[in-house]
Chains A and B, each alone.
Chain A
């Protein structure tokens, strides 16, 4: 197998309070691959992301990820809520990763504009987060993640709080950005439909302790549109994953 962007090998994670979040988790993400982590709440999906981002260290096992290697901002993270700085304009929020890397506003401006255009918010650079809807705030959060042109995008149930229509649109727009930029993505979700629609490969996790119990490749070409949601491939994959999730809950 070719070199991977992220590798976890036999990773255990036990928190200080004794809770075992992960047990023997191994996974590889190839460059440019879109991987979904599907599982019930508390199965350690978010912990996998935090480990891949270098925000937590494993108790045992080996991890290789861009955040643990280079000095550049090769990893981006999108949280469940937009996590914007309420005191800063949309443009300044998107500027943040570049600003922390030492780039001035004028220098960064073309990239800020491009990132905002990618998520369809070119006209909202001067707005403040509290003036935007939940879906728009999430778009800003994605623009902030994409502005550094990361090799790896980690997303922790980013659309869970949004309504179904907004969620569907953001799924389509996220895939468009992924195809245009070619980053690898790990997308954490508890929605079977979202996992199937977005990803090339789905890992199913089970809880207490969190471990990978199943894997399914979604063989459908991109760009994926609403038609894909109505296809036999989509239904079959959803049925298969729903059954696996059922087993995980049992």
Chain B
């Protein structure tokens, strides 16, 4: 392990050690602030119920993200084809983007019968905008001379899309994906919070609410830990995807 990798790991370990020491030395009660060791123990003891909830939240997050990709890219393609449609519909997208999801989630939960569908919709609203706006810019960013070259060689619309527009838009799309990955988790958890602890299938947000009603602070932290790990995992996988797809040619992934 080289120094550049060791540094963030050591910082993290030092912070955790400091936290543990603080709790023990100041004798802070665990219902106020549990030590990291207790959080891990609680996670282990409740792993069965927490893992089921984690799986539910993960499904909502990834499902919303997949829909955000599909929707964002599709709408971006339509926008890229027609400035008129973009002018007409972009304000709608902006309205969706700037409205706090926590404020419209109660409405969505009223209008949409299935809780799962409502949660998906909430997370989707939060996640799709970065993909949409980035992909629109990306599709328009193709080099003007390359466009001319494709015309000169009489490329078909499909060839133009596949060999010119998609590769040109890819770095922009991936930048959007990195943002949307985190946002869809936030959207999913926020919507779950609004939906409350009721229902048979519930996610990590419900576990946190439940634990908070019972003042089971260590369990709140355990659920929080799983959420953080999920977010980091999503982020890392998109970093890896970005490296794999852009590593050799795009400036954003050049390390020298």
Contact = CB atoms under 8 A, between A and B. Distances in A.
Given A86-B249, A87-B167, A87-B170, A100 B150 contact: yes
Contacts of A54: 152
Given A71-B154, A100-B153, A100-B155, A77 B249 contact: no
B152 A87 contact: no
Contacts of B146: 83, 85
A129 B249 contact: yes
Contact of B152 (A67, A85, A130): A67
A interface, size bucket: 20 to 34
B167 A77 contact: no
A83 B149 contact: yes
A55 B254 CA distance: 35
Contacts of B151: 55
B105 to A, nearest CB: 40
A77 B149 contact: yes
B145 A79 contact: yes
B50 to A, nearest CB: 42
A86 B170 CA distance: 12
A97 B249 contact: no
B229 interface: no
A54 B152 CA distance: 7
A45 to B, nearest CB: 16
A71 B155 CA distance: 11
Given A129-B249, A130-B249, A75 B152 contact: yes
A88 B170 CA distance: 13
Interface residues of B, number: 21
A124 interface: no
Interface string A115-137: 00000000000001110000000
B249 A100 contact: no
Among A54, A55, A96, find the residue whose CB has the most chain B CB atoms closer than 10 A. Answer: A96
Interface in A65-99: 67, 71, 73, 75-77, 79, 81, 83, 85-88, 96-97, 99
Contacts of B167: 85, 87-88
Interface string B143-178: 101101111111100010001100100100000000
A96 B164 CA distance: 11
A155 to B, nearest CB: 13
B214 interface: no
A52 to B, nearest CB: 11
Given A100-B154, A100-B155, A128 B145 contact: no
24 contacts: A50-B148, A53-B148, A55-B151, A67-B152, A71-B154, A73-B154, A77-B149, A77-B152, A79-B145, A83-B143, A83-B146, A83-B149, A85-B164, A86-B249, A87-B167, A96-B149, A97-B153, A99-B159, A100-B150, A100-B159, A100-B163, A101-B153, A128-B249, A130-B249
Interface of B: 143, 145-146, 148-155, 159, 163-164, 167, 170, 248-251, 254
> Which 9 pairs across A and B sit closest by C-beta, in order of nearness?
A83-B145, A100-B153, A87-B167, A79-B145, A86-B249, A100-B155, A87-B249, A97-B153, A73-B153
Given A73-B153, A86-B249, A128-B248, 8 more contacts: A73-B152, A77-B148, A83-B149, A87-B170, A88-B167, A96-B153, A96-B163, A99-B163
